[in-house]
Structure 1
Amino acid sequence: MYPVHFGHRYKNNGIFVNAAGGTGKSFVWNMLLDSVRSQGKIALAVASSGIAATVLKGGRTAHNIFKIPLMEYNEVRSCSIKKNSELAKLLELTSLIVWDEIVMANKNTLTALDITLRDVLENEKFMGGKVFVCAGDFRQILPVIRGGGKNEELEHCIKSSYMWNDLTKLDLTENVRLKKDDTKNILFAQKLLQLGSQSEGPVEFDEDFGVRVKSRQELVDKVYDDIENNHLNASYFEKRMMMSTTSIR
């Protein structure tokens, strides 16, 4: 698969890949980046967070490389890229832009980049005509809106942007991290996918699925059992984690 051929295969130059954790998204991104760069062309790799950027070859945060200004959630501004600057010349030579974890980005930052590339590159096509491949998982973090709630987050995610309907949608659905004989974890991964994609009815878990607790303290005790004798043991904490979509208080 060569990203420079995307323009011939798809009608638009923008592609969104819906990819849950473990489906090989980072592998695909680095393969695309390598294939373009191996042809002597320029591919830019950016992400919405520094952590996500570290797994991309040559990755940097989108705000850093595109000079996206910090803005309030309801502002729309252009990026700080001047025509005929070194960055503008780099963008003109760029064949592919990859943006990972784009669902975390405020739609106004995407608008700012789109406006800027159209202006700097003097091309009225989406993102200045550059092949723009982005990805994310809507089961994870949406844009963080200061003082906002669910409605504000939904209003400012990429799905609420004018560009959403023009993006070609692709999916990565198979969890490639799991072994074929790992039945329990495969079932868990399938259930997680259903949480964001099942169109009808609730997602039901079997009675013996996981460990059930009746209180926050029981949860803590289950996860951090025997912590009194292991509080100085780094490997003990490396194997334990408590994650929640809302704060546990």
Structure 2
Amino acid sequence: MTDKHIFEAVDKSLKDVMRIVNERNAELPFGRKVVVFGGDFLQNLPVVSKESRADVVRASLFSSYLWSSCKVLRLTKNMRLQVGRTSDNVDDIWKFSEWNLEIGDGLAGGENDEEVDLQFPDDLLIQQVADPIVSIVNVTYPDLQSQLWNPDYLQERAIFAPTHEIVEAVNDYVLSKIDEDEVIYLSSDEVSNDDRGMADPDLHSTEYLNSIKCSGLPNHQLKLKVGAMVILLRNIDQSCAVAEDSAALL
């Protein structure tokens, strides 16, 4: 996901450093140092804000003058998925990975002009869909109430969602399936009015601030039940973090 100009800057820096050893190094990629790039263009393209698809491609390493000096090495075995699997499971995993790569390479469904109808295997589809969220939760987490305290049951399942709104809808429905009393915790909703803050604390109402839902900012309401799955993403209490680090050093 790194812009090609970053790699090109490293290339020029290493050339300047390594030319001290040998003048010819100034003409070789990365000053004759071996550099390994890891990644997959099908999954991780550079992030270029508010630009077109062509601008994103132009920012990738593939569009750099360095690409002509690169040798592509392809990994063909998924070692992590094969550990502890039977031969039948490995064969199924291989078939799925091949089908997945065909979609990424634009080969699935035959020749096309970037528009094609794909045939998905039946075992990847939820056949009976009245409410999408209800259906996918019930299929992914069958008999949830009796398995709440089974760590293996929870570790083997996950639901991916494209937006924060869908994540919240899935969380609310899963929480509703737990037969316990719900407790709601609220964030602090007072606007700071110190010298570094806003001159007018009434510029944004607390109702507006509490309604904001975006990446990196916790929701105003936190709904919990006994048995609900909770993941701590980061410690936002820096004073506690510093105290813990100091204790560890002592």
Band of TM-score, shorter chain: 0.3 to 0.5
**What TM-score comes out, normalization by structure 2 length?**
0.48
Higher RCO structure (Cα 8 Å, ≥6 apart): 1
Query: Which structure: greater strand fraction?
Result: 1
Please say which structure displays the higher CA radius of gyration: 2
